[in-house]
Structure 1
Amino acid sequence: MVADSDGSPDQADRAQWMRTLALADPVWLADRWQAWPDRPGFVHVRAPETGLVLVRGRMSGTGDPFNLGEMTMTRCSVRLDGGAVGHGYVRGRSHRHAELAALFDALMQDPDRRAAVEREVIAPARRSHDRHQQAVAAAAAATRVEFFTLPREHT
């Protein structure tokens, strides 16, 4: 992870761990939060709220963008007692998931806690998601059908 001169994480690293938190199992995140030593107090800067976001797509991944549809999303922002602010954005309507993502994002803002959060929460969640993606890919590959054309003889 690259840190700026003030010790804050770089934007690309933060985007990666926020993605990991958004994709993590909310029950697992709740367990990690309950087991977290010295959980700080917090207040909601923005209480969890659910709304719609516009999803855009591209034909074949490279064409002109078009509006694909809308998706339900929940967001939350928290401020820890130490002043760190965290944000959580998750797919769906889980207010608790968005709050937990925001809490762990805020903990990642603290240079003294960042390594522990990375080791205990972010890395295991990333590994779990990767294993799930591999299982889905393997299941899809098992149902793959290969089409081929036999040459026709001209009579």
Structure 2
Amino acid sequence: MTDDPGRRAEAEKRGGARRRTVSAFAQAGAGFLSEAWDRLGAGRTVAVIRGPETGLVMVRGRAGGGGAPFNLGEASVTRASVRLDGETVGHAMVLGRDGERARLAAAFDALWQVEAARGAVEREVVAAVEAAIASADRDRRAETEATKVDFFTMMRGED
């Protein structure tokens, strides 16, 4: 990394944006990614570099969110790496065993790195996935709120 603070800040900003987009691609459904690829990536050459490969990762948890970490269990993940148009390399790791979804997510990671395509990918894929996730979170919160029970303690006058 460079010693120039401006360049370092710009690199960190791009890294944060890429983490956000890779997360969105990994959470998107295979059908959605396939339809979006037909619109945005048609005509591009996608060469598989690695995978899709399925394996296991250990999921760790913390008691109460802040306690000592413990092994919760294993989860299946699938990863893939692709080269787009012989130039840009994209990577993806998705929960589950869907190799096509991992390949498409990696292809979108590579497409997002192409400056000319980045805006369209942000608008049509990343924003749509983030909106769907936010909507599902709101629905889940509303459902949970509907079952909320307020407990209170009454002081008895016998003391």
Using structure 2 for the length normalisation, give the TM-score. Answer: 0.86
Task: Decide whether aligned partners of structure 1 residues 133 and 39 sit closer, same or farther in structure 2, where only a CA change above 3 A counts.
Answer: farther
- TM-fit CA distance, 1:64: 2.1
Deviations 1:38-70 (Å, cap 9, x if unpaired)?
441111111211111011111222222221111
Q: How many angstroms apart in 2 are the aligned matches of 1:9 and 1:78?
A: 24
Task: Decide whether aligned partners of structure 1 residues 135 and 39 sit closer, same or farther in structure 2, where only a CA change above 3 A counts.
Answer: farther
Q: 1:88 aligns with which of 88, 92, 105?
A: 92
Q: How many angstroms apart in 1 are the aligned matches of 2:52 and 2:96?
A: 12
- TM-fit CA distance, 1:84: 0.4
Secondary structure of residue in 1 paired with 2:56: strand
Task: Decide whether aligned partners of structure 1 residues 145 and 7 sit closer, same or farther in structure 2, where only a CA change above 3 A counts.
Answer: closer
**Is residue 137 of structure 1 aligned with residue 105 of structure 2?**
no
Q: Which residue of 2 aligns with 1:115?
A: 119
CA contact (8 A) 2:41 2:111 kept: no
Q: 1:146 aligns with which of 145, 150, 159?
A: 150
Task: Decide whether aligned partners of structure 1 residues 81 and 8 sit closer, same or farther in structure 2, where only a CA change above 3 A counts.
Answer: farther
Using structure 1 for the length normalisation, give the TM-score. Answer: 0.88
Pairwise mapping of residues 13-28 of structure 1 onto structure 2 (< 5 A)? 13-28=17-32
Aligned length: 153
Q: CA RMSD in A?
A: 2.3
Q: How many angstroms apart in 2 are the aligned matches of 1:153 and 1:116?
A: 67
Q: Which has the larger share of helix?
A: 2
The aligned amino acid for 1:111 is: E
Structure 1: tracts of 5 or more residues without a match? none
Structure 2: tracts of 5 or more residues without a match? 1-6
Task: Decide whether aligned partners of structure 1 residues 16 and 154 sit closer, same or farther in structure 2, where only a CA change above 3 A counts.
Answer: same
**Is residue 70 of structure 1 aligned with residue 64 of structure 2?**
no
Q: How many angstroms apart in 2 are the aligned matches of 1:30 and 1:6?
A: 32
